[in-house]
Amino acid sequence: MKPKIILDCDPGHDDAVAMMLAGRTTEIIGVTTVSGNAPLSITTDNALIMTELLQLDVPVHAGAHRPLIVKPSHAEEVHGKTGLDGPKRPAITREVSSNNAVEFIISSIREQDDVWLVPIGPLTNIALAVAQAPDIVEKVAGVSIMGGSTDRGNVTSKGEFNIWADPDAAAIVFDAGFKDLRMAGLNLTHQLGIDDEVISQLAKVGNNTANFIADLFRFYLDAYKERTKGEVAPLHDPCAVLAITHPDLIQFQKKNVQVETRGIHTRGMTVIDDREYSPATLNCDVEYVIDRDAALRVIIDAISTYE
């Protein structure tokens, strides 16, 4: 049986790929959007575009338009002005189901069993849901996050964007006491890199979805090449989906993870307690190693099933 998920996202090139993957490997009961890679109006439009392109019959609920406390920040330098720069942008013909993603999250978890939350943007919606309805912490099947890192950051030396963009929300989520909390951080997602060869493989698939994703990848990879002078771009967000659909491809370790909310140099840092005899509660399954080749096969195989 496919896992049942709510995909909480801020599309975003890699969010689009995560949605595509989830559309074939999970039962998506809803998509919720949040301000992150781009402002909320743009990320919501992008979610509508992707659900239509992928022919996914799922509702899209708009969520938080800003972080809990800090000022909004976006990632135009990576994802472009539209959040999905690269391919020709389709017209938007779908409409949002509501402007209350938090209420959708709460009611879905209360009314259905075995729902997973898969947040792949800032954690604002999830934190608001926990604050308004603490009972969902015990009811939800689990939370699979793309965010944080065991070592480096990307916005700052220690801050990964999704956590850094709303550190107060992230702290609420990591401290909430979820029975199954999984973290795909930069230390893992940089192992799942895309390059020119991956784009060539997508071109060979030949369907419209593959062509769209290939154009996304081309813009995304070129942006990384310009910024880093490297030849590979990390495919972050699909890792959060793979962590629940293909956990056999990932090596996990239980750790205590806390979020630094106010550090001058460390805002948004996910602080991993690596002490041998730590008294701290092991609140998170941190992901350390992913089988890149097998994971890419899963992703490309999923793309090949679309039109």
Looking at residue 280, what is its pLDDT?
92
**Tens of pLDDT along 60-72?**
999 999 999 999 9
Mean per-residue pLDDT over the chain, rounded: 96
Looking at residue 125, what is its pLDDT?
99
**Tens of pLDDT along 75-103?**
887 887 888 988 888 889 999 999 999 99
Give 267 or 76, the one with higher predicted confidence: 267
pLDDT at 123 over 90: yes
Looking at residue 201, what is its pLDDT?
92
Structure tokens given for 270 = 């996910």
**Which residues are marked as active site?**
236
Give 10 or 203, the one with higher predicted confidence: 10
Q: Compute the distance between CA of residue 100 and CA of residue 133 in angstroms, rounded to an integer.
A: 14
Q: Tell me, what CATH number does 108's domain have?
A: 3.90.245.10
Q: Look at 33-47, 130-144, 226-240 and tell me which has the smallest mean pLDDT.
A: 226-240
Confidence grade of residue 278 (pLDDT, cut at 50, 70, 90): confident
Confidence grade of residue 73 (pLDDT, cut at 50, 70, 90): very high
Q: Look at 13-27, 105-119, 224-238, 256-270 and tell me which has the smallest mean pLDDT.
A: 224-238
Q: Domain residues for 180?
A: 4-304
pLDDT at 184 over 90: yes
Looking at residue 206, what is its pLDDT?
86
The structural domain count of the chain equals 1
pLDDT at 128 over 90: yes
pLDDT at 9 over 90: yes
**Tens of pLDDT along 190-243?**
999 999 999 999 989 989 999 999 999 999 999 889 888 889 999 999 999 999
Whether 144 contacts 240, CB under 8 Å: yes
Give 223 or 115, the one with higher predicted confidence: 115
Choose among 256, 255, 270: nearest CA to 152.
270
Backbone phi, psi, residue 33, to 5°: -115, 155
Give 131 or 85, the one with higher predicted confidence: 131
